[in-house]
Amino acid sequence: MKQKMLVRFLPHNREIEVNKGDNLLQAAMRAGVYIQASCGGEGVCGKCRVLVEKGEGESLPTPKISEEEFRKGWRQACKTQILSDLEVRVPVESALDKRFINRARERVNAGRKVTYQELESLVLGWCFHPALQKYYLEIDPPTNGDNRSDLSRMLMALKKTHHFDLVSVDSQILKKLPFVLREADWRVTVTLAQTRVESQLGEHQLRGSRRPKLISVEPGKTTHEHYSIVIDVGTTSLWGQLLDLNQRKTLAEASDYNSQIQYGDDVISRIAYAQRPGGLVKLQECIVGTINGIIRELQAKSGMDLDRVSHMAAAGNTVMTHLLVGLDPKYIREAPYTPVANFIPPVRARELGIKVGEHVHLYTFPSVAAYVGGDIVSGVLGSGIYQRKPLTLYIDVGTNGEIVVGNADWLVTAACSAGPAFEGGGIKHGMRATLGAIEDFRIHPVTYEPMLITIGMVKPRGICGSGLINMVAEFLEAGLISPNGKFNAERSTPRIRSGPDGREYVLAYGQDTATGADLVITEVDIENLIRAKAAMYAGYVTLLQSVGLTVSNLEQVVIAGAFGSFIDVERAITIGLLPELPLDRFLFIGNGSLLGARLISFCNEMLDDGERIARMMTNVELSENSSFMDNYVAAMFLPHTHAEEFPGVTRRLAESQAHHSSQGAQR
């Protein structure tokens, strides 16, 4: 456990508990204390000056703070690490500011965010038991009296040392076998893949009813190096993790844009491209190329030996899964929208062009329907909602928004095309949630100056999906935009100006950005976000209606999605993306797609659960559902056309509006 510190901000008189070593600017953001900050936390704008009145922070003198100021306690918040309990005074430059201080929304720990290890405990009844196991063998060399085949003697050693009988063998190992055995002086490590059992039995019968398959032989003792690579194959981005199959650990993470993007932003345009001559092959090569890049990055980050990867699992939507394994998704686009297959047998990764050992098979999560893919099945598995009683809404916020409603007894699912806005796609300065993306954002309610923090606290480079949600929510609460998403003509600030794409707000001027150019958010960006959130909201409302339920029946909301963990629930409710429910009903699981893939890497038996989930889910087609269109149109408003669905937000916005008017009048 990290040591806890208490920081008190003055004149707000607001306290927040932090970990020793936390950044002071981030602590202020979390505490709901506005400090102007334009450079993302890099320290170059010099605007986040604060006075440390009590306690100790580690901070170096900077050009923006004179030596004398430093001696007096002035610091740049973004450059200060908290080393003891602190009292920090934030300079308040106008009377107006002061009056807003105590109105500043108190941030709560909105939505439970859990670590991967905690996440894995969401699922009941599994143990750490990878489908692939490595065993070290010391084999007796052949003699005149005992000249059994190389394979026989290896299998005998496996039986003798590790008690495996009836092992089948991948014929690919045979070509090198005699040479590996002799060069390694008959000391080798073998990898066994255990086939699944159809039904769950006690450990003893389990062993008996399986037939392990020997898939790899490596010289020497390599049991300590035993890895799995799991990949979330998204339409816009791919995310990969390198897992240690000995220690149930994540060794590295990496991600990249899906290089298919050059052939279209969404699955529909990818399917269209696949119909061109050579298009399918091209798209398959793209996705494999991206995966190979991610694998290289995982390798670089971890220093692992690629030959020690034993297993791969991927989860993606139905179209991405088709394209990955080279199936033509043609009929997914045409009514009645049929995939080639929902359950795809494991394929040798190298046959697809993935650069791993030839023994590595790629398991792809089964899909449910044309637009409900293995990513969602993986997430439902990983979140354990298929095992529990509470009525749960599971949403994967992404380009293809996928929604599940149900519990241990039943599961219904649907998909809606939200577009790429949540992943930074179609946004003028949109980017993935990587170094330099603005992820946290506040706006001064009077001056409309921004407080922005980037990932990595470097100069801002662009806006990621969660940052975009935060901005639009802040704009709305500040009255800077109207419920229709347009900049409010009544509010003026030099930061709002006309740009080539219409009106825009300048998040950071060139001197404070990584690119040297102004970083803006446009009305078109905001409209794209509204379309995306409306599709998601209409999707789950329609799905609930299809089973005779409403949002108020939900006992739990599980939020998945590559950027899910960064969503601020309150702000997502503010813009009408998430339903207005008590905050403790929200649970973030992060990348759900990776979650199930991790789980099956760590536990062989969970494969069956995954396939059971895929079979159990009932798909509801939204694309031809007239209620969906009605719900969508109604949701094209901030937070929603029907104010009664967001009573709390509506009330707060009204109060803010009234307050602002009165402030404006006083001004």
DSSP 3-state assignment of 312? Answer: strand
The answer for residues whose C-beta is within 8 angstroms of residue 480's C-beta and 6 or more apart is 443, 448, 474, 487, 488, 491, 493, 496, 505
Specify whether the CB–CB gap between 24 and 75 falls below 8 A: yes
Site for a copy of itself in 133-152 (CB under 8 A): 142-152
Window 607-626: contact mask with a copy of itself (x via CB under 8 A):
--------------x--x--
- Closest distance of CB 331 from a copy of itself, Å: 5
- Residue 206 binds a copy of itself (CB under 8 A): no
> Stretches 226-234, 295-303, 324-332, 457-465: which one binds a copy of itself (CB under 8 A)?
324-332
Q: How many residues bind a copy of itself (CB under 8 A)?
A: 47
- Closest distance of CB 186 from a copy of itself, Å: 12
- Closest distance of CB 141 from a copy of itself, Å: 9
- Rg for the chain (alpha carbons), in Å? 28
Would you say 150 or 232 has its CB closer to a copy of itself?
150
> Stretches 329-337, 435-443, 463-471, 496-504: which one binds a copy of itself (CB under 8 A)?
329-337
Q: What is the DSSP string of 23-87?
A: BHHHHHHHHT----B-STTSS-S---EEEEEES-EE----TTS-HHHHHHTEEEGGG-EE-S-EE
- Residue 326 binds a copy of itself (CB under 8 A): yes
Would you say 115 or 143 has its CB closer to a copy of itself?
143
Residue in 60, 127, 335, 654 binding a copy of itself, rule: CB under 8 A: 335
> Stretches 38-46, 321-329, 538-546, 592-600: which one binds a copy of itself (CB under 8 A)?
321-329
> Smallest Cα–Cα separation from 332: which of 256, 391, 269?
269
- Residue 342 binds a copy of itself (CB under 8 A): yes
- Residue 338 binds a copy of itself (CB under 8 A): yes
Which residue's structure tokens are 């918040």? Answer: 77
Cα 233 to Cα 131: distance, rounded to the nearest angstrom = 22
Window 362-381: contact mask with a copy of itself (x via CB under 8 A):
-----x-xx-----------
Would you say 127 or 174 has its CB closer to a copy of itself?
174
- Closest distance of CB 418 from a copy of itself, Å: 21
Would you say 286 or 397 has its CB closer to a copy of itself?
286
- Residue 341 binds a copy of itself (CB under 8 A): yes
- Closest distance of CB 144 from a copy of itself, Å: 5
Beta strand pairing status for 361-364 and 309-316?
parallel
> Smallest Cα–Cα separation from 33: which of 48, 17, 54, 12?
12
Cα 546 to Cα 412: distance, rounded to the nearest angstrom = 9
The answer for residues whose C-beta is within 8 angstroms of residue 79's C-beta and 6 or more apart is 43, 59, 60, 62
Cα 614 to Cα 365: distance, rounded to the nearest angstrom = 9
Cα 52 to Cα 1: distance, rounded to the nearest angstrom = 26
- Closest distance of CB 385 from a copy of itself, Å: 24
Cα 250 to Cα 228: distance, rounded to the nearest angstrom = 10
- Residue 277 binds a copy of itself (CB under 8 A): no
Residue ranges with strand state E in 371-447: 392-396, 400-406, 411-417, 437-443
Would you say 171 or 498 has its CB closer to a copy of itself?
171
- Closest distance of CB 172 from a copy of itself, Å: 9
- Closest distance of CB 183 from a copy of itself, Å: 13
- Residue 178 binds a copy of itself (CB under 8 A): yes
Which residue's structure tokens are 């009408």? Answer: 576
Cα 250 to Cα 246: distance, rounded to the nearest angstrom = 11
Window 149-168: contact mask with a copy of itself (x via CB under 8 A):
xxxx-------------x-x
Binding residues for a copy of itself, rule: CB under 8 A, are 142-152, 166, 168-171, 174-175, 177-179, 182, 198, 325-328, 330-331, 335-347, 367, 369-370, 621, 624
